[in-house]
Amino acid sequence: MRRIVLVSIELIALILVINLMYGKTAAATPNISKSYNISGNIINGTIVSTSATQSNYVVPGTIDNDKRLLGIIVKSNDSLLAIDAGNNTEQVAITGNASTLVSDVNGSINIGDEITVSPFSGIGMKKSDGYRVVGVAESNFNSKSPGVGDESVKDNNGVTHKINVGYIYMTIDIGSGAGTGAGGNQPNL
């Protein structure tokens, strides 16, 4: 089994080198994903955490379950390597890069900014102290970014705010960052 894994890794590396040498791009993004069960409908780009009650299930990531962060929902054919891909499951990118749902609830996102979960189910935001990091932004995001949609949300005081929601390309790096762990400040929502 160990020899098969090593051969597979060498084969993947060879394919990447050939694509780089001849200027071809692979259809898959450079991530590795694993199959998980879901309850309900979760769209691609959703940040997910492991379920607290069901084995091998994922749920949308929030500030309430950030200690169980796992990765980003992706299509199996968008992964360089999709482990246990099958029917009635979703692929979760656990390492590499993925297109990720974010909002500007904690400000505009710039390349290199750390991304964490937000108060909104499955949607990330610019890092806020005290929450685990999901990854690092590889693209910018603000109200003028392509494909941005605006949403009206109410804060804890019942005041309505307009936030922007869309996608960024992100390097997955769960748990990194200076202020990881529970607690700390969160946006006033």
- Mean pLDDT confidence for 34-48: 90
Which residue, among 134, 132, 142, 184, has the nearest Cα to 167 in the 3D structure? 142
pTM, two decimals, is: 0.76
65-119 tens-digit pLDDT: 999 999 999 988 877 777 787 777 888 999 999 999 999 999 999 999 999 998 8
Side-chain-side CA neighbours of 172 within 13 Å: the count stands at 25
142-173 tens-digit pLDDT: 999 988 998 887 766 778 878 899 999 999 99
44-74 tens-digit pLDDT: 999 999 999 999 999 999 888 999 999 999 9
**Confidence label for 185 from pLDDT (cuts 50, 70 and 90):** very low
**Confidence label for 176 from pLDDT (cuts 50, 70 and 90):** low
Q: What is the pLDDT at residue 128?
A: 81
Which one-letter amino acid corresponds to residue 91? Q
Identify the residue with better confidence: 21 or 131. 131
